[in-house]
Amino acid sequence: MAEEAVISKFPNPFPRPKTNRGWISWVMTVDHKRIGTMYGITAFVFFLVGGIEALIMRLQLARADSDLVSPEVFNQLFTMHGTTMIFLVVMPIGAAFFNWMIPLMIGARDVAFPRLNAFSYWLFLSGGLFINLSFAFNAAPNAGWFGYANLTEVPYSLGDNTTFWLIGLQLLGVASLAAAFNFIITIINLRAPGMSFMKMPVFIWMSLIVQILLVLAFPVITVALIELQFDRLYGTNFFNPVAGGEPVFWQHMFWLFGHPEVYILILPAMGIVSEVLPTFSRKPLYGYPFVVMAGASIAFMGFFVWSHHMFTVGLGPAANAAFALSTMAIAIPTGVKIFNWIGTVWGGQVRLQTPMLFSLAFVALFIVGGLSGIAHASPPTDAQQQDTYFIVAHFHYVLFGGSMFGLFAGVYYWWPKFTGKRLGETLGKWHFWLMFIGMNITFFPMHWVGLDGMPRRIFTYPADSGWETINSWSTIGAFIIALSILLFIVNYFRTWRREPTYEADPWDGRTLEWSIPSPVPVYNFKEIPTVEYLDDWWAQKYPESVNAEPRERSPGQPAPAGAEDMLPLNGQDVSSYGASSYGDDEDHGIHLPDKSYYPLIAAVGFAFFGGSLMSAWWLTLIAGFIMMFGIMGWIFEPVNDPPPEEENPGGHPEGYSAEAGH
């Protein structure tokens, strides 16, 4: 066969190591769980970086006429805080959950394209490091996360600050796109038998919608960034007013991406909350089809509201009125969701454990942010509030109070599935309450200073403005949030040192991921499940809830079915962190994708290629070669190595890892 011939002919300079331990097994992994873990850890590190940037800004603003940091540094801080939190924190934490949970919730053994998945992660990491590398050159991006032209054009933005920003963002965009293709195909093609679209968990629905948004929105920002890059590096005229270019066109392009982007940030959290609330209320989600369709219509309408970011640009009354109407219309599906969540909790047997607390706080804080959002959906009101701290308060209520609370709910909810042990409940509650109180102390007063006229992005303000007291409160609140995150880290380490409990289904969950052992074995499902109902695992455990006879295939409780899986295979030490506690994956006989170096090589080459555009052309040539080498090796490397007779039994994993060090 032609295909096999191709395989055997290609000398593979980087043969696959066989080891499942040590750093090398992480670097070349294609396992969705390990990639998800790496996404999560990386994003959390960036979260700390972005948080420190925020704390420095809050310290600067705590006092009037403060000179803690210079205006230039302040510009870099708010730009990097926004860029980091959006592209390097909320999106990748979402990606961590997609990676972990999509295969588990749809009953699959991995994503559709495991190596592409690894490529996405490495490119995301390279892009994130690349943007932050700019600090080393004292050239951190300083033109705002929205990079308004023509302030980002060469005459107004000397130095490499903006170039770092736009190339880094393009790398991240490619990473997100690759991941999005992967997840769409996974959800469409790899669902367990019987799981029709309307039997998918809501989180899977929201994931699918987010990926479609990514696929449609990211090319727009990519083109805008390419145009800006050509302007900056090659002297074209896209946003050069002297030659007839229109800075406002940048704003259209940016927000045509930017508004779907905010739904990319919030919908994963909505999906998580839609899983947590039913579980901790012991009730099915109220109005499942409405929640799904509301999510889809939010995403669809998200493409028709972008100009509400531009009410004060002067697009004329007709455009402003149309976009005000479409913006207010989005409140309808959002309201539908909120009533459905309330309806889910209503009359349920509510257990106020940490994931539930975060989810309830999500609903409450999102309502606050949503209401202030409706306030500036009206152009005259917005003319007053544009570029004030009122806007800052609004989007921190939806992005921090919304997205981050939802994501933390997911962290506490699925932690037992990741690691086989729950995060500490007492510290978790301390974390929650401090974060909840700190968040409100920080951001609620910003509504007042905003309405009083305090502009965004100023590095200081005069003492007679009367804003000092309120700003001091915000700073105190920010440090309370920091304390709560510190407690989360403490909780993480204390949990790490505890013995795993291997509870497969600690919360009495409803969806398929709770039907398999914790931590999840490398092959996920020993036997691919057959789905008959929405919340199929619940229906299996409680057949009376769907008026069905108990199924023969799986007994009511997980323990008897997979008892041997409840303990780590081969008696391996599982006290180390989460996904590394896999058993030896040789003896289960389940076909899994093999590991590969090439995604890493291709991703690093790609990032190097992007970065090299800022310097000498021959560097670009070298980078282009590395990239093509990675892609070619990837194409011609078989998805799976040939069966045993060609394997070298004397192969030394150590030897391989030494080779990889080059």
Partner 1 sequence: MWTFLGSECMFFGSLIATFLVYRNQSTTGPFPDEIIDVPITTVSTFVLLMSSLAMVLALNAVQRNQANLGRFWILMTALLGTIFLGFQAFEFNEFFNEGLTPRVNLFGTTFFVLTGFHGAHVTVGVIWLLVMAGVITPKGLSAWTLLGAVLGAYAILVGILGLLDVIRNLSDVGAVIFIAAGAVVMVAAGLKHFSIPTKLNVASQAGNLEVTALYWHFVDIVWIVIFTVVYLVSANDSIETSEAIISGLHGGG
Which one of 4-12, 28-36, 70-78, 277-285 is the stretch in contact with partner 1 (CB under 8 A)? 4-12
Facing residues of 455 across strands? 388
For residue 7, state whether it binds partner 1 (rule: CB under 8 A): yes
172 touches partner 1 by CB under 8 A: no
Q: Does 208 bind partner 1 (CB under 8 A)?
A: no
- Name the minimum Å distance from CB 102 to partner 1: 15
Minimum CB separation of residue 600 from partner 1 in Å reads 20
Largest CA distance in the chain: 82
Binding of partner 1 by 559 (CB under 8 A) = no
Place of tokens 């108990």: 550
The residue among 4 and 65 lying less far from partner 1, judged by its C-beta, is 4
Residue 11 contacts partner 1 per CB under 8 A: yes
* Cα–Cα distance, 269 to 272 (Å, whole number): 5
- Is it true that the peptide bond before 150 is cis, omega within 30 degrees of 0? yes
As to burial, measured by CB atoms within 10 angstroms (0-12 exposed, 13-18 middle, 19+ buried), residue 46 is buried
**Measured from the CB of residue 41, what is the shortest distance to partner 1 in angstroms?**
28
Size of the residue set binding partner 1 (CB under 8 A): 48
Cα separation, 400 vs 358, in Å, equals: 12
| Single residue of 455, 624, 638, 651 touching partner 1 by CB under 8 A | 624
| 198 touches partner 1 (CB under 8 A) | no
The residue from 146, 249, 533, 542 that contacts partner 1 (CB under 8 A) is 249
433 contributes a contact to partner 1 by CB under 8 A:
no
Q: Is 641 in the site for partner 1 (CB under 8 A)?
A: no
Per CB under 8 A, the list member of 528, 548, 621, 658 interacting with partner 1 is 621
Should residue 639 be labelled a site residue for partner 1 when binding is judged by CB under 8 A?
A: no
Distance of CA 364 to the CA centre of its chain: 22
- What is the rounded CA–CA span in Å between residue 386 and residue 262? 18
Is residue 411 within a helix (H) or strand (E), and if so which, with residue range? Answer: helix 405-419
One-letter identity of residue 270: M
What is the amino acid identity at position 167? I
Q: Does 235 bind partner 1 (CB under 8 A)?
A: yes
**CB 45, min distance to partner 1, A:** 29
**177 touches partner 1 (CB under 8 A):** yes
Among 636, 638, 653, 660, the residue binding partner 1 under the rule CB under 8 A is 636
Show the tokens assigned to 564.
């041997």
Q: Which of 155, 244, 560, 589 binds partner 1 (CB under 8 A)?
A: 244
Q: How far is the CB of 254 from partner 1 (least distance, A)?
A: 11
260 membership: H or E segment, kind and range: helix 247-281
Of 237, 384, 472, 575, the residue at the interface with partner 1 (CB under 8 A) is 237
* Site for partner 1 contains 2 (CB under 8 A): yes
- Does 233 interact with partner 1 (rule: CB under 8 A)? no
Q: Which is nearer to partner 1, 6 or 658 (CB)?
A: 6
Told to check if 155 binds partner 1 by CB under 8 A, we report no
Q: Which of 491-495's residues contact partners 24+ apart within 8 Å by CB, and which partners? A: 491/423, 491/424, 491/427, 491/428, 491/431, 492/423, 494/424, 494/427, 495/415, 495/419, 495/421, 495/422, 495/423, 495/424
Structure-token pair, residue 238: 């896209």
Spatial distance between the Cα atoms of 172 and 157, rounded to a whole number of angstroms:
22
Could you tell me which of 504, 519, 502, 501 has the C-alpha nearest to residue 555?
Answer: 504
- Minimum separation from the CB atom of position 153 to partner 1 (A): 13
Residues belonging to the chain: 662
Closer of 238 and 418 to partner 1 (Cβ): 238
How crowded is residue 652: how many other Cβ atoms within 10 Å of its Cβ? 12
222 is an interface residue for partner 1 by CB under 8 A: yes
Site for partner 1 in 347-386 (CB under 8 A): none
Q: Which is nearer to partner 1, 235 or 571 (CB)?
A: 235
Those residues whose C-beta lies under 8 Å from the C-beta of residue 270, and which sit 6 or more positions away, are 206, 295, 337, 406
* Shortest distance, position 6 Cβ to partner 1, whole Å: 4
Q: Are 383 and 422 in contact (CB under 8 A)?
A: no
Name 345's bridge partners. Answer: none
Q: Is 246 an interacting residue with respect to partner 1 (CB under 8 A)?
A: yes
Question: What's the min distance (Å) between Cβ of 280 and partner 1?
Answer: 35
Binding site for partner 1 (CB under 8 A): 1-11, 177, 180-181, 184-185, 215-220, 222-224, 226-227, 230, 234-238, 242-246, 249, 253, 617, 621, 624-625, 628, 632, 635-636
